[in-house]
Structure 1
Amino acid sequence: MELTFDASDEMSGVEDVYYSLNGADFVGEKQSPFSVDKEGNYSLKFYSVDNVGNVEGLHSFDFSVDHTAPLTTHEISGINKNKVLAPDAAICLSAVDSLSGVANVFFAIDDGAFERYKNPIPVSRLKEGDGKITYYAEDRVGNAESHKYIGTLSSGANQADGEGEVFDYYIDRDPPVVSFKFEGDYYEGDHEYISERTRVTLSAEDDKSGVQSILYSYNSFLTKEMYDSSFYPEGNSPVVLSYSAVDWVENAAAETDRHFYIDRMAPESKVSFEGPVFRNRDTLFLAGDTRISLNAIDKESGLKSISYSLNDVEAEYEESFSGDFAGENLLEWRSTDHVNNQEDIQSLVFVVDKEGPSIHHHFSVEPIGEKTVRDEKYVIYPSNTKIYIGSTDDVAGEESLKYSVNGGKMSETIPLSGLQPGNYSIDIEAADALENKTTKTIRFSIEK
C-alpha cells in the first residue's frame, strides 16, 4: 500500500515532507516514498518544510493494513442433543475480524439467494435430510471470506471452492412412540379387565434424539409419575391410566388414556339339583336319576369355567350330571373368572339311593289249605283273616305304602280285613323319600 502526501506553500514552495512510521527516524518522502505492504496497525507522524526552512507543525495519523477476511463460526441455539435439533432450535452465525472489523454476514439456504444475517436461522427453514446453509462474512475494507457450508454428507457440503463443514444434523419434529402392554392375567370383553397379579409395562421408541423419559398417572389430569420399570396398577376399578413420553429435544407424545378394570374378586358358585332330594339331619340323599347343576356368577370379568371332581375323577363342567354310584359320593369344585381369579375349593358329600323300600306282609292266621287255579297255586285263608303290609328302607327311609285289591282303587288302610270268600290278587307299591319305588303282588284265596 502506498500513501502520498499533499503539501503546498504559496511563497517559497515546499522543500519536502518528512514522516516517521511506528516511531522510526523521520525520512523525507522524496528520499523514500511512503509504502506499507505488511498487515498490521500503524502510527504515522509527518510534517512539511518550505524552501526557506519554515517547519510545519507535527501531524499524526493511525491506520491499519487489513488483508485478511473475517472468520465466521456457527453454533446451535435451543434444545439439541448429539446434533439432533428441536423444531424450534436455530443456527447462530458469528464472525470476527481483528483489524477493520466485520461489516456484514451473509447466508443462503440451499440454492437460494444470499440474505444478510440479522437473527438466528430457524431450523424449520431447513430440509429434513439434505438441507444446506452457505455463509460468509465481509470486513469493512471489503475482504470477503470464502464460502462456508453447513450440511449433511448428502447435501454436498464439502464444496471445492470453499471450506465445507459437515454437520450431521437432524431436525427431530416427531415425539416418541409409546407402547402399553399388560403382563399377566388379561381379558377383553365389554371392558378390559386385569387381575391384581397383572403388571403394566410401558416402553417408548424415538429414532432420532432418543427417549428422555416416560410419564404416567392414575385417574389424574397431570401425568407426572416417572416410569422406570413395570408395575402393578393401583386403585379400585375403574382405572384410567394416562401415559406419555418426552424425547431429548422436548418433543412430547400426546397423552393417551387406557381405561380398564382391576378384578380382584373370585366368582361365587352354588350347587343345585334337578330331581328328588332328601336331607336328613346332616346327610344329603339323592335319587339315582337326580342331576347335579353347578352355577357361578362373577360381576366383573365374568365366569370363565367351573372345574369339578366327583370321587377323584376330574372334569370341566359343561352340563348337569348325576351321582356316580350308590352310596356316599364326594363332589369338589371351584369356579374361575376370565382373569384367573379362583374361588376356594367347595365340597359336598351326598348319598345316592337307587333302591326302593323292601315290602313285607303277613297274615293274622295260619292258612287252612291250598288250591290250584289255572296252574297257579293259591293258599287258602279263613274269612276272618287280616293282612298286615309294611315296608322298610335302609337309606332314605320309607315314604309311602299303597295297595290295590284285584285291580281296584289304591288304598293305604292297614290292616286289610273283611275279605269275602274268593280269589285275591293284591298289588303293593312302596316308595322312599327319593321316590324310588318297589312293587309286589301277593295272591291267595278266602273261604269260609
Structure 2
Amino acid sequence: MSAKTLAIISVLSMILTGAEADDGSSTSSISADCMEFVKLNETFYVNISISPLTTLGGAECDISFNPSILQVENVSDGGMFEKWWDANLEIDNANGTVKNVVAFNFLGNGTSTSGIFAIITFKAKSVGVSHINISRAILSDENGEPLPFEFSNGTVTVISDSVPPALSYSLSGTAGNNNWYVSNVDVTLNATDEHGISEIKYRIDDGAWQDYTTQFPISTDGLHTVQFYAIDNAGNNNSTSFSVNIDREAPTLSHAISGTAGNNNWYTGNVAVTLTATDASSDIDAIKYKINNGAWQDYSPFTLSSNGEYTITYYAIDNAGNEASEESFTVKIDSVSPSSSATLSGTKEGGVYTTDVTVSISRTDSTSGIAYTKYRVNGGAWTTYTASFTLSTDGTYTVDYYSADNAGNVEPSKTVTFEILKNHPPTADFTYSPQNPTDTQAVHFTDNSDDTDGTIANYTWNFGDG
C-alpha cells in the first residue's frame, strides 16, 4: 500500500469516528429517496440524501434490499462531498447488501447544504416489494466528531403492468342544441389504474400543459379542444381529447329594405326585404318571420308588392339554441297617384255661366292620404288649394289642378274650362238742347243709354210734371 493511500485512510478514520446516533432531538437526516412503483426489468435510481443540521465533514452507511426483487447495477458519487471513497465498497446482490458507502471532505472543510450523498442504480428483476434500508450510518462534522441524526428508509414495489390508465371526463353546464353549451362549462377529468395514477396533465386549445388537480371551468365562447393524458405508477401513458363548444350569446339581427323611396318613409313601388342574423360562435340555425299577424315562416328573401302598411316581425335561432329577441319594422307602399276632380257651381245658360262660379276640388287617396292640391287660373301662379274659390268676372276661364299624396305620388294635371257672361242692367244716359230754354222754346232730348250685353227693351221718362 502506498504512502498516499495510507494518508487518505488516516484522514478518513479521523473524520468518520462517530458511532450511529439518533436521540430524536436533531433535525439532521439521511434518507433513501426512491420511486414508489417501478416496472419489471426497469432500471431506476435511489438517492441517499442528507439534510444537515450543522456543518458536515463526511458520511458513511450500508444499504440493504430484497435480493429476490432487486439487484444493484452501480453505486456512484452524489457530489455532496469533496471525496468519494469507493476503495472498500462492497456490492452483494446475493445477500442484498451494499456496504461501505463513504464520502467526505478533507479535514477542516465542511458542508451545510442538503444534497445527495450517493446514487444507487437498481434493476427490478421480479415482481414484489423491497425495502431500501439504511444501516450503520455515521454523520460527522468537519473535525470528525459524530453528529446525531434521523434516518428514513424507502420502499419500492415492482409491478408487471403494460395496461395504460383508463381515462374519462365529465362536463357540467347548461346544454343547448347540437352538442353546444349555453353557459360556462366545468370540466372534470378522471384516470383510473390498478396500480394508481402518477400524474394527470391537460391543456386547452394547444395552450401550456397544466397539472390537473381539480375541476376547472371553461368560460369563453367558441370551439374548444381539451387534451389530457395520465401516467400510472408503472409509467404507462394514455391520452385523449374532446371538444367543449360554448355559445352563450343570442344572434344579432339586422334587416335591409330595397325599393323606390318616396316621401315620409313610404315606398312607391315593390320592396325587396332582406333579413340577416349573425352569430360569432355556433352560427345561425334558422330565421323566422311573419307579416302583420300572419303565420311564422322560414325566411328566404321576399318582395312586397301590394299597396298598404306592413309590419315585419322576425327573430333568429343559432345552432346552440340561443334565440334572439323579436324585432319589428314597418314597410309602407303606395304606388298609386291620388285622384282629383273639380266641381263648378253657378247658373248656366246655353253653355255659359251667367252668375259667379264657385270651383270646388275633391281629392282621394286610399293609402298614404293627400299631401296637397295645387291649382292655377288662366296659366297664373300655382296656388295651394285649401277651400273652394269663386270667380265672378265675365270671361273665359281655364283652371288647371292636380294633387299629390303623402308618399310623393303626383297625379297628372287636369283642366276645367268655362265662360262667365252675366246679363248686366243697361246704363241710362241722355242729352238735351238748348241748355237754357225759355218757357216758349221746345226742348229736344237725345237718348244715349247703353246695354253692353243686350238690347234696351223700353224707356221710361219722368219730367216731374206729373
TM-score range, shorter chain: 0.3 to 0.5
Scaled by the length of structure 2, the TM-score of the pair is: 0.45
Scaled by the length of structure 1, the TM-score of the pair is: 0.46
